Structure 1
Amino acid sequence: MRAYAEQWESFEQKGLDMLRHLTQVATDKGVATEFTQALGDAGRAICDLAKDWQSDLIVVGRRGLKGLSEFFLGSVSNYVLHNAHCSVLAIQRPNP
């Protein structure tokens, strides 16, 4: 159990480090930013946070899954597109 907790803490720290770096990149370019890292259903967390922050726009990436792949794997971007209180811009991942 301790190994699992340590692995989780490492994973969480890597996520926070990435968010801090991307926030700094945006800030250096003159874009006001904030970030948070939350557990739970990603789509719902994004919509709830955007509402709490009174956001005007949510920008999300999407992998472009369709049909059964999207059904079985779920789609955060699809949830956000249909449940956000504000405008949503979905950016399609480039083809590899």
Structure 2
Amino acid sequence: MAGKQVMLVGVDDSERSFYALQWTLDHFFHSPSASPFKLVVVHAKSIPISAISLGGPGAVDILSLVEKDLKSTAERVTEKTKEACKKKGVEVEVDVTEGDARNVMCDAVEKHHASVLVLGSHGYGVFKRAVLGSVSDYCSHHAHCSVMIVKKPMAKN
């Protein structure tokens, strides 16, 4: 894989992020040996901050349960990613990093010297994006590489 550009794909536990991964595999890795890219998939493991702010008895128990759930989610995402890549015959490096997804993705671009960052779109409207924030919107403005946002087609009725 020496000399290949790095294509970084951000995944979480959503159907839309796995759609973006599958779309990337289908369009850029249909012939893995001929692809000009090395594939790196990044998962941002959340920090259980909300549980930390809980004081009093039982806070430690809650924190350990939240941490266990976040670890389980990261393992599930990693396995699902590896399986999808294996089916296509694509070598993949999976990077699980703890932190806010926006920062994790932008930092991963620098860490892996990525040429392209691929992200799925949750399809939030203007209001939800303003309130919840949008990882893809943030990365499109702050990542030091090209950013491709893959939208899952709407289901036809």
Q: Report the TM-score, using the length of structure 1 for normalisation.
A: 0.82
Structure 2 gap segments, 5+ residues each: 1-59
Within the candidate set 8, 12, 18, 2:77 is matched to: 18
Q: Which has the higher contact order (CA 8 A, sep 6+)?
A: 2
| Greater C-alpha radius of gyration | 2
- Please, what is the CA RMSD of the aligned residues? 1.9
Q: Which deviates the most, 81-90 or 4-13?
A: 4-13
Higher strand share: 2
Moved over 4 A (4+): none
1:4-50 CA distances to partner (integer Å, 9 max, x unpaired)? 30342133123222212312321331323212222222111101012
Question: Quick check: 1:62–1:92 contact (8 Å CA) kept in 2?
Answer: yes
CA contact (8 A) 1:16 1:37 kept: no
Equivalent-residue separation in structure 2 for 1:10 and 1:68 (angstroms): 29
Instruction: Give the Cα–Cα distance (whole angstroms) in 1 for the partners of residues 103 and 139 of structure 2.
Output: 7
Pairing 1:77–2:136 present = yes
User: Number of residue pairs matched?
Assistant: 96
Q: Cα distance 1:67–1:10, how it changes in 2: closer, same or farther (>3 A)?
A: closer
Rounded Cα–Cα distance in structure 2 between residues aligned with 1:34 and 1:15 = 14
CA shift for structure 1 position 3:
4.0
Give the unaligned 5+ runs of structure 1: none
TM-score w.r.t. the length of structure 2 is 0.54
Structure 2 distance, partners of 1:30, 1:47, is: 27
Structure number with the higher helix fraction is 1
In structure 2, the partner of 1:55 is: 114
Aligned counterpart, 2:147: 88
Matched AA of 2:82: T
